[in-house]
Amino acid sequence: MGRRKLWFALAAAGVIGGLVGIVLTELMHFIQHTAYGYGADGAYISFREGVARASEGRRLGVLILCGMLAGGGWWLLKALGKPLIGIKAALKQPLQGLPFLTTVFHVLLQIMTVGLGSPLGREVAPREMTAVFAFAGGRRLGLDEDEMRLLIACASGAGLAAVYNVPLASTLFILEAMLGVWTQQAVAAALLTSVIATAVARIGLGDVQQYHPASLAVSTSLLWFSAVIGPILGATAVFFQRTAQKFPFIKRDNIKIIPLAVCMFALIGAIAGWFPEILGNGKAGNQLTFGGLTDWQHSLELTAVKWLVVLMALAAGAYGGLITPSMMLGSTIAFAAAAVWNSLFHEMPSESAAVVGAAVFLGVSLKMPLTAIVFVLELTYAPLSLLLPLCIGMAGALGTSGKMGFK
């Protein structure tokens, strides 16, 4: 009977993850369209294009509002709510779980701030929302500690699968990043929840391809480039994580975080007057590099500015993910490096180099190399022939990061 309860809970977590993915994605899109004034006629316009069309004054005003919401919202949550418990902390003490109302409000704050233009990622929100509902259900079913740990981890992956339409990458994410085990039961549970969540989300959101690269050809030149760029990206990703871990300087329960957040996001809004692509989780930058829609100079500028605004948002006390921001940093660095490579050696598609860079940077930065490779393949519908340069680049990056003590 116990096993039936567990598998029922896992299947239910998959359904919940799909529904959470639909609701949070639609909420974020509604906030984006309302804040930046696009999409009212029903025609599809990407967030990047919508932000670019908005006036500089509107961008600035929206980001000031975002800072007020980030600073004030999380200050109030710290002051009035129960202590926040992240998913990894919950996995260490699964029967303690996640506080329901605090987590729900925390998730909504993430979606609202990212929708308004916070440069952090959106993927943590659906993972936490699905996990908190799954924990509540698992507690009612009387699951034991090991069962609850498996349920929370799989629910977290289900949320990721739903918003990005990546069932296999989410399965690997659960096993590699959440559980760290590869037992038959864990693999089956991860697959079940990820596939169900993806299938449910597709009912409301469609079978969406997140990126449409212009050209993903693979050549011998790309293989050599991957071998060279891998260690460079590995070292850069380690440096990025070490800089990001220093923030915020002020604790979020200190009322001074509110004016700091307003100032930081106002500065981000001012910077967006020159670089609108930095707003949001980083998808805009990936669209430019994957599609070959920019040049190497602008690509390098986006690397520096995106890195800066991510640190500014973290300094302001904002929460959010680093998956897509990490991908953008990797893709812009690799795209710029590809231009130099093509001027010296046999030419290769810069778009392929950008995809390799995105995966490698993500894999090292978040310590999930296998997940990152499959994640990027599913996001871009890339040909399997791209696996070899991806693996070559990842191997070099992991070797370098390991020597730097980042394990």
The CATH class given to the 1-205 domain equals: mainly alpha
- What gap in Å lies between CA 394 and CA 323, rounded to an integer? 16
* Domain residue ranges in the chain: 1-205, 220-404
Q: pLDDT tens across 322-365, in order?
A: 999 999 999 999 999 999 999 999 999 999 999 999 999 999 99
CA-based nearest residue to 7, from 199, 239, 185: 185
Q: Say if residue 258's pLDDT is above 60.
A: yes
Q: Say if residue 1's pLDDT is above 60.
A: no
Band the pLDDT of 2: cuts 50, 70, 90.
low
pLDDT of residue 407: 74
pLDDT of residue 44: 80
The answer to whether domain 1-205 and domain 220-404 are alike in fold is yes
- What gap in Å lies between CA 355 and CA 374, rounded to an integer? 12
pLDDT of residue 113: 97
Q: pLDDT tens across 35-78, in order?
A: 999 987 777 888 988 998 999 899 999 999 999 999 999 999 99
In the chain, the amino acid numbered 83 is P
Mean pLDDT of 270-276: 93
CB atoms within 10 A of CB 247: 16
Mean pLDDT of 115-139: 96
Distances (CA, A) of 25 to 6, 234, 327: 28, 31, 20
- What gap in Å lies between CA 393 and CA 407, rounded to an integer? 17
Note if the bond before 83 is cis, omega within 30 degrees.
Answer: no
CATH number for the domain whose boundaries are 220-404: 1.10.3080.10
Band the pLDDT of 244: cuts 50, 70, 90.
very high
Q: Say if residue 190's pLDDT is above 70.
A: yes
230 in Cβ contact with 360 (< 8 Å): yes
Tokens 């060279």 map to which residue? 228
Mean pLDDT across the chain, nearest whole number?
A: 95
In the chain, DSSP finds a helix count (H) and a strand count (E) of: 17, 0
CA-based nearest residue to 368, from 326, 319, 313, 329: 326
Q: pLDDT tens across 142-183, in order?
A: 999 999 999 999 999 999 999 999 999 999 999 999 999 999
Percent of the chain topping pLDDT 70: 100
Q: pLDDT tens across 356-396, in order?
A: 999 999 999 999 999 999 999 999 999 999 999 999 999 99
